[in-house]
Structure 1
Amino acid sequence: MRKRRHLSLTVFAAVTAAVVGVAGCDAVGGDSPAPSGTEARGARPSPKPTPTWDRSPASVAAVGDSITRGFDACGVLSDCPEVSWATGSSPKVDSLAVRLLGKAKAAERSWNYAVTGARMADVAGQMAQAVTREPELVAVMAGANDACRASTGAMTSVADFRTQFADAMSTLRDALPKTQVYVASVPSLMRLWEQGRTNPLGKQVWKLGICPSMLGDADSLSAAATERRETVQKRVEAYNQVLEEVCAKDRRCRFDDGAVYAFRFDGQQLSQWDWFHPSVNGQARLAEIAYRTVTN
């Protein structure tokens, strides 16, 4: 019995030593073979996921209305796309495309399909043109003309505005699932009226038909005029809510969180010809907002 017990203890000690020895070799590397197959894959660190948003897209297309065309920034009642906040080449603006791509590449890899007077219903068609260039980023600024109508009754309904913007996004997505979108909020039309109504020249230009729903009878502070302007402003706010909500459904879309709407344009940032559209300085401020949104 004592011999058998001694033998058992000897075997147990030998097995324990062997196990400890193997464990020790694995802990310090030793001469054991490297893991392979499933074991090896489990040992490797997981690769970092590819970020959904690229802060440095290699090409830019712009769609929208007169603001993106630089209307009235360089001369009266005329487009001036070279100072566009989105794709302009002017060093006074340092457009979104120039900030992202550099001046030389921006000249080759940015395109402006915005049209003065365009409303949201027109943006899907502009998107269709833009997708032919396969841009990595599309910049959108539209909606002011949907509120700037002959009367408040003629403004685009919120429901139609939503459908039209969703259609524009679908036009892009059907062709380019991975293209990113920057969406600028509609500016505060009330703010533009408040700034421009003190300028006699600007008010004369307004009479030619610039945003009559907000700017018509500019000096009147009657209850009816005040109610009209407030109706327009509320519609702009509703449009911005739509832009935010539709954009939020697309993981490759960024809304500016109302930054353009909240920007307090003053005399320096408004056209010296109509005191409503952005001046060259105003275009530069819009470019800053866009670049900050895209790169943060």
Structure 2
Amino acid sequence: MHPLRRTLLALTALAACLTLATATAAPAAAAPPPPAAMASMGDSITRAFNSCGFYVDCPSRSWSTGSTGSIESHYLRIRGVSPSLAAYNDAVSGAKVADMAGQAQRAVSQGVGYVTILVGANDVCTSSESAMTSVADFETRFRAAVQTLADGLPQALVFVASVPDVKRLWEVGKGDLAARTAWSTFGICQSLLANPRSTAAADVARRDRVRQRAADFNAVLARVCGERPTCRYDGGAVFAYRFTLSEISTWDYFHPNATGQKALAAVTYAAGYGW
């Protein structure tokens, strides 16, 4: 057979195979039905602390359940397809992973169909490096909370956001006098933010270890969430987000301001269920 004819026949066969594969491929998974009620679990980030005033919770600006239109929260986005959606903000400022079991019980009592979880910042941002939550304890506590949700709300969908990259906060704020002053005055995240201008090897190594602890927590979140078909992890989207100082509250230079909450809402919703 002529080489050219052999090539044409091979290409024709390949095209036929591709056409058949396309025709028989499974359709893309449709978004699940929107919930009738949702709840948020977490800490001061989900309470939108310091996003509307000095050292106060501002839940109406929460990335998850906030009602302020400009934030474009999960609640407001889902309400576009589920107008009667009810929302409960069960997060508590200062909460750690040890508090998630109690928050999960609260969500169960509310009978919700969708739960968001953002936790871990207070487990890594502590008074000193030695005070950080261990990875093993973090997993035990988080697994217990997820089990509570699974037992009490077996059909509910759970969305788990990754722990933010706390070292990014140091990167964007270390050159700002107001940020450094706030960190020192209020004792904010000293495990990471102590001696912010130091380039000493010990301080550089400490910052890297604290960042690694956040990454280790995220590995736990991914693993535990991945064990359940009704749980979706954000794939590290929040950890990877390169936030700027303009998205941080000038009350403490730690929490997201309204702009930061809006960015958090967009990043997390894009990694979610697609309602």
TM-score band, normalised by the shorter chain? 0.7 to 0.9
- Measure the CA separation in 2 of the matches of 1:103 and 1:251: 23
Residue in structure 2 matched with residue 39 of structure 1 by the alignment: none
Larger Rg belongs to: 1
Structure 2: 5+ residue stretches without partners: 1-25
Q: Deviations over 1:77-101 (max 9, x none)?
A: 2211111000111112011111001
> 1:126 aligned to 57, 78, 103, which one?
103
Q: Is the aligned partner of 1:151 residue 2:119?
A: no
- Between 1:185-194 and 1:267-276, the stretch displaced more is 267-276
Cα distance, 1:274 vs structure 2: 2.1
TM norm structure 2: 0.85
Count of residue correspondences: 246
- Measure the CA separation in 2 of the matches of 1:124 and 1:285: 28
> 1:274 aligned to 221, 243, 252, which one?
252
Q: Quickly say closer, same or farther: Cα 1:233–1:84, change in 2 above 3 A.
A: same
- Measure the CA separation in 1 of the matches of 2:224 and 2:111: 22
Q: Deviations over 1:224-255 (max 9, x none)?
A: 11111111001000000000000000000000
Residue in structure 1 matched with residue 140 of structure 2 by the alignment: 163
Contact 2:100 2:142 in 1 (8 A): yes
Q: Deviations over 1:105-146 (max 9, x none)?
A: 47x600001111110010110111111111110000000110
Return the letter of the residue paired with 1:282.
G
**4+ runs deviating over 6 angstroms:** none
Alignment of 1:169-208 (within 5 A): 169-207=146-184, 208=186
Q: Is the aligned partner of 1:289 residue 2:275?
A: no
Q: Quickly say closer, same or farther: Cα 1:163–1:52, change in 2 above 3 A.
A: farther
Identity %: 43
Residue in structure 2 matched with residue 44 of structure 1 by the alignment: none
- Measure the CA separation in 1 of the matches of 2:159 and 2:237: 12
Alignment of 1:217-228 (within 5 A): 217-228=195-206
Match of 2:70, SS state, is coil
- Measure the CA separation in 1 of the matches of 2:55 and 2:202: 29
RMSD: 1.9
Return the letter of the residue paired with 2:229.
R
- Measure the CA separation in 2 of the matches of 1:171 and 1:102: 29
Residue in structure 2 matched with residue 239 of structure 1 by the alignment: 217
Q: Is the aligned partner of 1:256 residue 2:210?
A: no
